[in-house]
Structure 1
């Protein structure tokens, strides 16, 4: 776990820096500098682009991680990587032609009940392409075991740029329409920088040679589109579908709540950047012992860290909403539902990496398609009944069933579970912490209240984890910090 812990820590710090900047943008700048309608529009544009991303990427970012380590010569690796550069165009070029020919019909359908969307369909499309190729170049660098710079670009760069754009909007240097186009340009610039960095690690040579196992590569990358689409549908389709049923400003309220809860998944995202290629390596080498060890350790470590973040959010959420516009407090229930969903998701550890890099990905795709359809159906049922809370209910049910099915499948095929005796202890610690601290409030300013409760929770939770040695890896890190 040495390289995993090292780069995961760096990635976690970078990701939280990005989320901190993003929190300022989402919770304060967007809500104060932009109308709810246009904030909802920006949220809708980015969510729809994220739904399209795995389709436009043609599954290439996952394919690079799975197959790169199986090629042993530099010549073979180069031919493989060059092929990966051009495969997304198989989708992007026809999609561009279709959008150009049928623009009016597509834009009208995407707009739903909010006609403001129609003017920004090309922004959605171009942003989706940028997202796709960014992931391709990021995967290019990750298989070189270099994930830190890419993680900085993924989590920090665009948020800093958007913060600057929001201040430009506030000082009337930009109109709101120009801001939206500028955000698209930021994502274009981010992709270009990631490309240059990836090429600095491994410059492609366009002299091609025969690629071994080409049929398996093409079959995998074609099918893995479904897997990536399923994951993004479950995560992003709620915002897309809200646009079809309710006023677009509600997407802003929903988006803020989701953003707060999504902080819990930061450690998982950070660890995944390095765990995924390492998992692929163990699978290619058929090293089941190391694979099982990585599975259990990644699950426990993520559950401990995510549990702590879950507590900080749940125990401080009422004070957080006092700092935001009153309209956004409508998302309080959403924060509870999605936060619990993210906490359960952390129990999977590197489960996704095992499934997507193994020979059993086809079965997972079938499960994923079923659950993606279920997500859409649940949204159709719950959103008209419960509004934005209904979208959260639908997401929770879908994610829970999807996660459960993946745990069962990995156990059936690999005979291993991510849980250990310490998993139950951590769960009990989380419950006790909620019981002790949730109703313990202070009569000060919300910021001071959040700071005080955070300090108390941190001391209590950290002390229990350390004294009872729930995780050897986390204990080692704490010992290292204490010695310094």
Structure 2
């Protein structure tokens, strides 16, 4: 776990800096400088591009991780990388030629809403395609770097670059350097530049010799990519379909309100995203070498460490979320506490799974990823439709659908790995950790310090004071319990170094 811990710590730091900047953008700058309508439009464009991106990527980003370490000669590696460079084009180009049809479908859908403001999307649908293509190739080159066990630079571009770009563009809007209408144009340019930077770094790490030959296992590579393509598309539906569905009923402003609550709830998953980036190639390598003990070790260590870190942020987020909403300029964002709780619970459960996804994607049982992904996509779509449109549960219904689908299919993945590989991520420490998390959540969720209202330059200060004071109590108590109960050897060792 040495290289995992070292790069994971760097990646976690980068991701949390990115989340802090993203939090400032989300909680304060977007609504103040871009308004809820244009923020909702940006949310819709990026969510829609995320739905298309896996289709264009053709699963190549996962294929690189799975197969690269299996080649022993540079010639085969070069043939493989030449192949993965061109496969996405065979999907991206036809989609580009048929974009007028996609545009008409989008306009037909958003025009169903009673909000006439939805029609502003007409001039922005092309950015969905541009961002999707850029993100697809970014993920390909990012995987290219990860198989060289170099994930930090790509992580900076993935987690920090976009949020810094958004902040710069928002300030540009506020100072009238660009207009609100031009915001998405410049963000699309930022995505293009990010892809070029990632490509340059990937080629610096490993540049293949160009050839027209195909790797010896071409059929297997293509077959795997097709499976992961479908599974990845299904996974994108689970993540972003709710943000795309909202404008069809309640307009872009409601999509903005929901995306803020989802962002806050997703804050806890940063360690998972950081650790997964290095766990994927290591798990793949261990599986290719038939090192079952190392696979199980990575499984258990990743689970308990992610639960430990994610649990702390679960408590901090959910016990302070009411105060956090008081900072928002628009009152429309308030009332999203249930969404935050359900989304963060789903994210915490996924962190409990540890390297489960990496094991499934890189084992001989990878085909199960497709029915799981399709099941999740179908489940979340119909539950969204039932809770949001039929039962009118507002956006709480969308979050509930995500939570239920995550729990059901995550439980299935746990059972499947246990049944096929006879390993699971749990130890007695797992259940002690779960008890600590929910005990502290219940203890600190129902009270706040009685601080009078303090406003500085039209910005409320008292919620920040309340959040800070509660965090000063929660964090030391949590760390003390985890340390004394010896939940994680890696955490205790790291804390011992700091002390």
* Partner residue of 2:394 out of 371, 374, 387: 387
Of residues 28-37 and 102-111 in structure 1, the stretch that sits farther from structure 2 once superposed is: 102-111
CA contact (8 A) 1:110 1:118 kept: no
* Partner residue of 1:401 out of 386, 404, 408: 408
Of residues 308-317 and 325-334 in structure 1, the stretch that sits farther from structure 2 once superposed is: 325-334
CA contact (8 A) 1:76 1:209 kept: no
Kindly indicate whether residue 249 of structure 2 is the aligned counterpart of residue 245 of structure 1.
Answer: yes
Aligned equivalents of 1:110, 1:69: Cα separation in 2:
44
CA contact (8 A) 2:80 2:214 kept: no
Q: Where in structure 2 are the equivalents of 1:177-256 lying within 5 Å?
A: 177-256=181-260
Kindly indicate whether residue 492 of structure 2 is the aligned counterpart of residue 475 of structure 1.
Answer: yes
**Match in the other structure for 1:359:** 364
Q: Deviations over 1:96-116 (max 9, x none)?
A: 11214x255234235343322
**Match in the other structure for 1:425:** 432
The structure 1 segments of at least 4 consecutive aligned residues displaced by more than 4 Å after TM superposition are none
Q: Where in structure 2 are the equivalents of 1:305-320 lying within 5 Å?
A: 305-320=309-324
Q: Return closer, same or farther for 1:193/1:390 CA change in 2, 3 Å cut-off.
A: same
Paired positions, count:
481
What SS does the aligned partner of 1:330 have?
A: coil
**Match in the other structure for 1:96:** 96
**Match in the other structure for 1:134:** 138
**Match in the other structure for 2:275:** 271
Aligned equivalents of 2:370, 2:264: Cα separation in 1:
29
CA contact (8 A) 2:53 2:132 kept: yes
Kindly indicate whether residue 442 of structure 2 is the aligned counterpart of residue 438 of structure 1.
Answer: no
Q: For residue 67 of structure 1, report the CA deviation from its aligned partner.
A: 0.3
Q: Return closer, same or farther for 1:110/1:94 CA change in 2, 3 Å cut-off.
A: farther
What SS does the aligned partner of 2:125 have?
A: helix
**Match in the other structure for 1:450:** 467
**Match in the other structure for 2:454:** none
Q: Deviations over 1:45-83 (max 9, x none)?
A: 111111111111000000000000000111111111111
**Match in the other structure for 2:458:** none
| TM-score (norm. length: structure 1) | 0.97
* Partner residue of 2:168 out of 164, 168, 172: 164
What SS does the aligned partner of 2:141 have?
A: helix
Q: Return closer, same or farther for 1:183/1:175 CA change in 2, 3 Å cut-off.
A: same
Q: For residue 208 of structure 1, report the CA deviation from its aligned partner.
A: 4.3
CA contact (8 A) 1:245 1:383 kept: no
Give RMSD over aligned pairs: 1.2
What SS does the aligned partner of 1:395 have?
A: helix
| TM-score (norm. length: structure 2) | 0.94
Aligned equivalents of 2:29, 2:48: Cα separation in 1:
22
**Match in the other structure for 1:69:** 69
CA contact (8 A) 1:70 1:284 kept: yes
**Match in the other structure for 1:377:** 382
Q: Deviations over 1:276-307 (max 9, x none)?
A: 00000011111101100110110010001000
Of residues 104-113 and 395-404 in structure 1, the stretch that sits farther from structure 2 once superposed is: 104-113
Q: For residue 143 of structure 1, report the CA deviation from its aligned partner.
A: 0.3
Aligned equivalents of 1:453, 1:21: Cα separation in 2:
22
Structure 1, unpaired ranges of 5+: none
Q: For residue 371 of structure 1, report the CA deviation from its aligned partner.
A: 2.1
Structure 2, unpaired ranges of 5+: 452-461
Of residues 235-244 and 273-282 in structure 1, the stretch that sits farther from structure 2 once superposed is: 235-244
Q: Return closer, same or farther for 1:86/1:210 CA change in 2, 3 Å cut-off.
A: closer
What SS does the aligned partner of 1:35 have?
A: helix
Q: Deviations over 1:348-378 (max 9, x none)?
A: 1011100111111212211221221111111
**Match in the other structure for 2:456:** none
**Match in the other structure for 2:334:** 329
